[in-house]
Amino acid sequence: MLRTLVHEGDAPSAVPPASLRPTPTRDLGFGGMSHDPVRQARIRPDDWSDGAIVLGWRDGMAGSLRVDRHDALILQVRLGETDGRPPYREVVEGGQSPMLLRAREAILHDLRQTRILRTPKQTLLIGLDSRRLKQVAEDLGILDADPLEELVPAYGAVLADSALHNLAVSVGETLGRQDRWADVIRRQLTRAVAAHLLGTYTSLQPAPETVRGGLAPWQLRRAQEHIRSDLARPIDLQTVSEACGLSISHFARAFRQSTGIAPHSWLTRERIAQAKTMMRRGDRTLADIALACGFADQSHFTRAFAKDQGTTPGRWRRLVEPDSRHA
């Protein structure tokens, strides 16, 4: 089930994982909970198992949220103003340059660095991780892009986007429900949010629906899911081709036609993408990362990374994590 949490009434209407449960400091007759400023609500990497998270703060007290570093983004939308108060902008993130948000406005937060977000009343947060964004991109035939990187120009900008606001309102209207229909609706709406972000705030263009001699969209998606399911192992072309209903030779030709590269080359790119994620976390050596991502050793990893990225893993890590000591 999609991870959800709504602050409305005396308790959340959907019970989230323990790490998402804020510490209530007092109950309010008109609904909501406040947060202890030290023990705030928190999202950890393990909470992204479904690829998306939805959280809502409606009436009552505002709060704050710590989001641990993860390959993901959060869309923060102010759905409306608090009753009885004039329109104004709320601070939604501290720091030297505070981000301010008025009703019907939104901000995208890049979660590849740990963030502390303020959550004013009438606020909805929609979190999308890289897997969910890539799934939406791949459904449109966009195969080798990094959606999080493509969205970099939009991070931190105030978005006055009526379509985005309307989608957020639709998501928010499901938060009081715990039935399976509501969960399905939330899943589809979060995919719609991802598609709108990629289509509006990036330069990505959908590929033609069919590639002559290539795989059908469902075959390509199934093949990529099989390959991604265990990046540390070599591709079992027999199993993947059978899942697509093709012979090995037909599958290999059609995969190359659809993606422009052979299955083994595509696997290497996915391993490198996974290695980048692990290097950003900064808690493992390059030798450990190489083995975890399916490379024979660190030397093999370095050669493959340099061929694809034009620089070594150690240099790349120092650029994105200047304080890293694990190169």
Structure tokens at 259: 């993606």
Strands 52-57 and 115-119: unpaired
What is the per-residue pLDDT for 204? Answer: 87
pLDDT average, residue stretch 190-194:
95
Residues 6 or more apart whose Cβ sits within 8 Å of residue 286: 279, 298, 301, 302, 313, 314, 317, 326, 327
pLDDT at 124 over 60: yes
pLDDT band of residue 15 (cuts 50, 70, 90) is very low
Sheet order of strands, 63-67 included? 41-43, 63-67, 115-119, 90-93, 99-101
pTM above 0.75, yes or no: no
Distances (CA, A) of 317 to 72, 147, 174, 297, 304: 19, 20, 41, 18, 15
* 246 or 208: which leads in pLDDT: 246
pLDDT average, residue stretch 147-159:
91
pLDDT average, residue stretch 101-110:
90
pLDDT band of residue 83 (cuts 50, 70, 90) is low
pLDDT at 170 over 80: yes
What is the per-residue pLDDT for 10? Answer: 32
Sheet order of strands, 52-57 included? 3-7, 52-57, 123-129, 72-78, 106-110, 158-159
pLDDT band of residue 62 (cuts 50, 70, 90) is low
Per-residue pLDDT tens over the stretch 231-264 = 888 899 999 999 999 999 999 999 999 888 999 9
Q: What share of the chain in percent tops pLDDT 70? A: 77
pLDDT band of residue 165 (cuts 50, 70, 90) is very high
What is the per-residue pLDDT for 227? Answer: 92
Structure tokens at 242: 């059978």
pLDDT average, residue stretch 127-140:
91
Per-residue pLDDT tens over the stretch 291-312 = 999 999 999 999 999 999 899 9
What is the per-residue pLDDT for 38? Answer: 33
pLDDT at 219 over 50: yes
pLDDT at 8 over 80: no
pLDDT average, residue stretch 189-195:
95
* 33 or 288: which leads in pLDDT: 288
Mean pLDDT of the chain: 79
